[in-house]
Structure 1
Amino acid sequence: MTSRSQKTTPCGFLRNFTHLLIGCSFTTVTTLLPGNALSTVHADDPPQVASQNKSTPPVASARKPLFDGKSITGWSNPYEWGKTDVVDGELHLTGERKYFLVTDQVFHDFEFEGEIKLPEGKSNSGFMARGQVEPNRVYGYQAEADPTERRWSGGLYDEGRRQWLNPLWKQPDAQAAFDRNRWNRYRIRCVGNHLQFYVNEVPTTDYFDPADLSGRIGLQHHGEKGQMVRFRNLTVRDMGQHQWVPLFDAQTASKSAAEGEIIPGWKAIGGGNWTVADGVLQGRASVEANEPNGLLYCTRQFANATFRIVYRFTEGDSGFFVRSKITDANPFVAGVQCEIDDSDAVGGLYQTGGKGWVAKPLHYLDTRFPPDRRDVVRAQWNQARQVPATPVEGDTPADPAVKPWQTMVVSVHGKRIVTHLNGCLAADFVVDDLAESGTIALQLHGNQNLEIDFRSIEVLEPVSK
């Protein structure tokens, strides 16, 4: 790919969130495409809420009640304000400031069901899914209950963090699901990094996000004085748990590699050099070497999967390939790559050997967000692009040459590819003829000076019981 100019704007949004991401040993990987299945692509429409995920559904436990109809046993209010009453088998929340009633139990993968009734007049509420709890603060994923004219009930709001992730702008079927004049049933399904919301059995949100894999279920009162929000029939099914499993990190790098492998489970083809120093995978290429593209590819095959990559980029043009096929001739791969560089295109999707660019970062902005919300997303993207350096052991924090560790998360489910950079959505695109499975690979672009380090590469997998 050709080089692209960089345009960034300083912004204070997402600083705490991206610092949290970078400070952890996060990693992202992707899968590569067997054959020459270089896809045709849908336009930038909102993703269909009918799930693209064809993976085997997890085994769920029996549904159990979260509310006994008589007391708030199992629930607590982490705020110094707000009142909860139990009346006729219902939970009644009142208050003059926003607060949440949350479960004592932390949930991982689950399916929750509950009913909500909003009062007449100005009101707002919702259900927290995997809520993060601190004294006088609850933040995280919220399934919105919004009775205003915009009708975004069932949309995904990141409370106390990134604001709207899935507003229901121009999604008429989802917007019509909530009925202000009746009890409304919500079903919330969280499995791995996949979030699905239903309002009265109408699908309203189908979203992949890397922020939280566990948390508490919560009920919101938005703080409208004199207004009471009612909840009932609250149940949950445990659906297991997911965890990040390393495909490369300092520990795996210390193990013996098989014949032909550079590191355990990874082989190289083409130009450039791959080495490991102090547990960090280093990829290097140069103009002087005049070599073709190089790849480090995983010997495993992947179908539906989510990957996390922690990398540090200095110069050049790299990428992370998904569901691709390794070939014998330059560029040695056929498939879709997630761009890794220091340009405005980082996190975008590019078809090597095919159509070229299929999705640039923020391609979704004008079709999924109303005009008054777009600047917020742009500011968050600029902040994600400018994550400050996070020193690790051996780094010199004062050294300006020390580049920041970045976290990219890539989800590939069905024909849908979703990329996040430092917690901010870069691309969410459906590639029609994406292969059913393939390998993953890291790229060293040929005939240029390139320097990139990888601290870890992980795949999200169910926890075996």
Structure 2
Amino acid sequence: MKKLMMLAGCSVLMLAAAAQGSGWKSLFNGKDFTGWKQLNGKAKYSVENGEIVGTTVYGQPNSFMVTEQEYGDFVLELEFKVDSTMNSGVQFRSESKPEYNNGRVHGYQFEIDPSPRAWSGGIYDEARRDWLYPLDLNPSAKKAFRQGRWNKIKLQCIGNTMRTWLNDIPCAYLVDDLTPKGFIALQVHGIGNKKDEGRQIRWRNIRIRTTGLKPAPLDGIFVVNMIPNNLSEAEKKNGFRLLFDGKNTTDWRGAYKKDFPGKGWEVKDGVLTVLSSGGKESANGGDIVTRKQYSAFIFEFDFKLTRGANSGVKYFVTESEKNKGSAIGLEYQILDDAVHPDAKLGRDGNRTLSSLYDLITSKREKRARKPIGQWNKGMVIVYPDNKVEHWLNGWKVIEYERGSPEFLKLVAISKYKNWPNFGMAPEGHLLLQDHGNEVSYRSLKIKELKK
């Protein structure tokens, strides 16, 4: 028996040595919170059977069990099991500073979301920029979460790239440089209803590796890139290219013109800006269009509004008919809804921000709308089967089908009713509109979709 016990002990020591030699380090000793501290709310954290257990407490804000050490580049693995009615998350590269919201924990979060929305594995920016990578951008990952069972998280942060996996299914791919390092934390979300007190989440097998890191192979999922005018290797592999690199406008020209406008548009500090002309449409530089025409594509663009400004991103612009104002095409509306009078025109708000102008009203998702003066991420997707989507800051706000009976009915009661075959060209230019107000653009990217 003694020999067996000695052999078993040797085996444990050998396994521990092997684990240490592989570069993995345990962040939790299975007994107490050595190396951790609690911040913000007073939710209950305890240790049971080698697991960290977080329990909701009514009236408390979001609570965090935080590592005392900060981490920059790493691979983190852990397992969790969560109550089906509880929201939670794992913070990474996060901070708590007295000068920021009185020490409120803020930073990147691996979302744990057992609700029907199923965004577990997405990346949220706690107490800062809201959603960065909601799983509507990668809907196939919504099936990764296993209700009522242990789930395995893998989180890889190397340089500006942050990637997540849940139960070995790739979920999110984020490129961002706002916070290069910070602590890791286990969140117990605040609750607003007394009946939700006592909900629990459990974590175990928490380990981290900080040396010998190699990026996992690219997996082709959608990439959110927050770095201006940057094209990551993953985006290149996915088929994207820049239409504006922060310096050159070679992919653009004036609408109905051969060259880029000599006035009215400015390139400065990596930003392409249409200058104000007092609100007179196309009275200064005029619209600009891509030199190339597109049929099925994903077009990403960052935009920033000034107070009261109006502009638009149009697609399927053919320049086949001269118009007194802006060139004709389907339009992703760019507008300060609170100030510009156009927001109250049309029908049921179909001229508001991110709407299909004068045809379909954008979903009124308040969290998708950034304050005037901040950058927004817009996106138009046109699929080969003529289905179209508008996105705003990671939220899908419109979907429709070109040529469908519903689409044709909307055209028939719109300002475009007298334009033959409106919006139905097989291909067309992309357009940035000069509506006479100052609006800025950057990070213009396109991927052509094969039919």
Q: TM-score when scaled to structure 1?
A: 0.48
- Whose relative contact order is higher, 1 or 2, with alpha carbons under 8 Å and at least 6 apart? 1
Which structure shows the bigger proportion of residues in helix conformation? 2
Q: TM-score when scaled to structure 2?
A: 0.49
Which structure shows the bigger proportion of residues in strand conformation? 1
Structure ID, larger Rg: 2
